Amino acid sequence: MKAVIYARYSCDHQREESIEGQLRECKEYAEKNNLTVIGSYIDRAMSAKTDNRPQFQQMIKDSGKQMFDAVIVWKLDRFARNRYDSAHYKAQLRKNGVKVVSATEVISEGAEGIILESVLEGFAEYYSAELSEKVIRGLKENALKCQYNGSPIPIGYVIDEDKHYQLNPLTAPFVKDAFEMYASGRTIKEIVEFLNSKGVKSSYKKDVTKTTVAAMLKNTKYRGQYKYRDVVIEDGVPRIVTDELFQKVQERLAKNKQSRSRFKAKVEYFLSTKMICGDCGVLMVGECGTSKNGVVYNYYKCSNVKKRKGCHKSSIKKELAEELVLKKVMNEMFTEDMIEDIADSVMKLQKRDNAAIPLLKEQLAEVEKGIENMLNAMQSGILTKSTKKRLDDLEAQKEKLEIDIMREQLQEEVLTRDKIVFWLRKMKDLDLAQDDNKRILIDTFVNSIQVFDDKLIVSFNNREGASGIALLTDGCSAGRGLGELPTRTLR
């Protein structure tokens, strides 16, 4: 399983673990649990209270490219600024087949917090349109003027004072070279080497990668097209390549994509990051094998068995393990008493979380006062580039704070106790043949599964203790539970 590390260091927390310390513990966790770390995303002197974390945003974007299967964080508070954002970004990662794991927290999050995030995700349609309407309206106005809207600036362009795209005379010629090279049969790897040899950097000031070039070759801005949502304006951006050259590149990209489509569909192991070897305590990972007659088998295997580190734990069939765990969740999490208890706990946590609203309103009042002062100065004849820029910055802060307040208020209004109960009862009737439903149930309620030769021990997020499932010696379920078991230390 491939993983990346996300680390963040806040300048206002001098005593917290350093970036180096966070990386070290995350790498130790990965090594212990047979996760292959392929890279790190690091935001220095950044706060989780803002979305302006360039490496975090790049990680979210890269998750859609099937580059990795898990994100390792030192602690889960490194991940997001509030409960809503945590739910929002985890949902994005989950849709891309990526899980978030903590290197230092055995029980990944407070039980009610996990369930609240799932409820937030489940009710997203109630408030996502309202939250985004104001932002989209402003960005659409920019788009109609072909103005920059905040996404990474493509290689070959710069943004002028009026927020319009202009050609970068230093890098635009190399972009044209890249298109011509690919159209003439050169590989993306060769183009990467060429651009790096010329000192071309990505929008994040890093060396160009295959991902950078692949995105470049598909970007319609290079043929002069400005595009934002449903706004498409031809010749809204200075073009770098002709329509003919762009089309030739698209045809070759499409041909290469078809040749790669023969690969097998990716199998999702829903219990990965939760299933733990009962003998040695490390994660069990998804594996597949093919029998002599060509039948493919999927199963979970102890990482130490895979690495031949002395453990001899038997593997367990994927379908069996997932079926047993899901059945246990359905039987124990959706009694009427449990639904009422969960709803009470989630409402208490939500009330505690909404203490952020007064602080946000206080910050908004300060920003509005700053705007008033700037307007008074301008009316008095003080009008310079710096005062105009300062006013623009304050207006942007005001808009962002208003959205944050709306987000918190909508969360409070939408998530009534009745709606939480409704959502939990709806989960009880989920079709377990659907992969999305399996994922939701396991991620919401299951904290860990310890695997022994004769039983599985399931620990839930929302209650103390654990529950056992008996297994026959051939790895099949005996069809009976073992009752309540004490919680066992997992790491």
Q: Which residue ranges make up each domain of the chain?
A: 2-105, 146-260, 275-338+424-485, 348-416
Show the DSSP H helices in 10-101 as ranges.
Answer: 19-32, 54-63, 83-95
Residue reference for tokens 């449990």: 338
3-state secondary structure of 322: helix
- The pLDDT tens digits of the residues spanning 125-141 come to 444 444 455 556 666 77
CATH assignment of 2-105, among 3.30.360.10, 3.40.50.1390, 3.10.20.90, 3.30.420.40: 3.40.50.1390
Picking from 115-119, 262-266, 370-374, 425-429, which range would have the lowest pLDDT averaged per residue?
262-266
3-state secondary structure of 330: helix
**Protein fold of 146-260:** Hect, E3 ligase catalytic domain fold (3.90.1750)
Question: Which pLDDT belongs to residue 108?
Answer: 45
Question: Which pLDDT belongs to residue 352?
Answer: 61
Could you give the CA distance from residue 208 to residue 101 in angstroms, rounded to a whole number? 29
> For residue 304, is pLDDT > 80?
yes
Could you give the CA distance from residue 41 to residue 101 in angstroms, rounded to a whole number? 15
Span 394-416, average pLDDT: 73
As given in the structure block, the two tokens for residue 250 are: 């698209």
- Maximum average pLDDT range among 18-32, 41-55, 139-153, 162-176: 162-176
Span 62-72, average pLDDT: 89
> For residue 284, is pLDDT > 80?
yes
Question: Which pLDDT belongs to residue 333?
Answer: 87
Span 322-335, average pLDDT: 92
Question: Which pLDDT belongs to residue 408?
Answer: 65
Question: Which pLDDT belongs to residue 84?
Answer: 63
Could you give the CA distance from residue 13 to residue 171 in angstroms, rounded to a whole number? 39
Question: Which pLDDT belongs to residue 13?
Answer: 44
> Beta strand 226-228 with 165-167: parallel, antiparallel or unpaired?
unpaired
Phi/psi-derived region of residue 421, left when phi > 0, alpha when psi is between -120 and 50, beta in every other case: alpha
- In terms of C-beta distances under 8 Å and separation of at least 24 residues, what long-range contacts does 140-144 make, across chains too? 140/228, 140/229, 140/231, 142/228, 143/226, 143/228, 143/229, 143/231, 143/233, 144/231, 144/233
Question: Which pLDDT belongs to residue 271?
Answer: 92
> Cβ(28)–Cβ(103) under 8 Å?
yes
Span 418-441, average pLDDT: 85
What are the residues whose beta carbons fall under 8 Å from the beta carbon of 164, sequence distance 6 or more? 145, 146, 147, 148
Question: Which pLDDT belongs to residue 111?
Answer: 53
Closest CA to 4 of 18, 23, 19, 20: 23
What are the residues whose beta carbons fall under 8 Å from the beta carbon of 140, sequence distance 6 or more? 228, 229, 231
Top-confidence residue, 478 or 418: 418
Question: Which pLDDT belongs to residue 113?
Answer: 63
Question: Which pLDDT belongs to residue 350?
Answer: 67
Measured between alpha carbons, how far is residue 265 from residues 260, 262, 268 in Å? Answer: 12, 9, 9
Picking from 99-108, 136-145, 476-485, which range would have the lowest pLDDT averaged per residue?
476-485
Question: Which pLDDT belongs to residue 52?
Answer: 62
Question: Which pLDDT belongs to residue 479?
Answer: 40
For the chain, what percent of residues have pLDDT higher than 70?
78
Could you give the CA distance from residue 139 to residue 7 in angstroms, rounded to a whole number? 30
Could you give the CA distance from residue 278 to residue 469 in angstroms, rounded to a whole number? 13
Show the DSSP H helices in 380-478 as ranges.
Answer: 385-414, 417-428, 435-445
Question: Which pLDDT belongs to residue 5?
Answer: 94
Element (H, E) at 338: helix 336-353
As given in the structure block, the two tokens for residue 390 are: 């300062």
Element (H, E) at 113: helix 111-122
The C-alpha angle 471, 473, 477, rounded to 5 degrees, equals 25
Question: Which pLDDT belongs to residue 169?
Answer: 95
Per-residue pLDDT band at 221 (split at 50, 70, 90)? very high
Question: Which pLDDT belongs to residue 72?
Answer: 94
Picking from 85-94, 244-253, 349-358, 417-426, which range would have the lowest pLDDT averaged per residue?
349-358
> Cβ(191)–Cβ(210) under 8 Å?
no
Question: Which pLDDT belongs to residue 386?
Answer: 79
Measured between alpha carbons, how far is residue 42 from residues 19, 76, 110, 296 in Å? Answer: 8, 15, 25, 39
> For residue 401, is pLDDT > 50?
yes
Span 56-64, average pLDDT: 90
> For residue 421, is pLDDT > 90?
no
pTM over 0.85: no
DSSP states of 392-408? HHHHHHHHHHHHHHHHH
As given in the structure block, the two tokens for residue 453 are: 């030769």
Dihedral Cα 274, 277, 282, 287, nearest 10 deg: -70
Top-confidence residue, 299 or 140: 299
Question: Which pLDDT belongs to residue 484?
Answer: 43
Task: State the CB neighbour count (10 A cutoff) for residue 13.
Answer: 10
> For residue 334, is pLDDT > 60?
yes
Per-residue pLDDT band at 259 (split at 50, 70, 90)? low
Per-residue pLDDT band at 12 (split at 50, 70, 90)? very low
Question: Which pLDDT belongs to residue 411?
Answer: 56
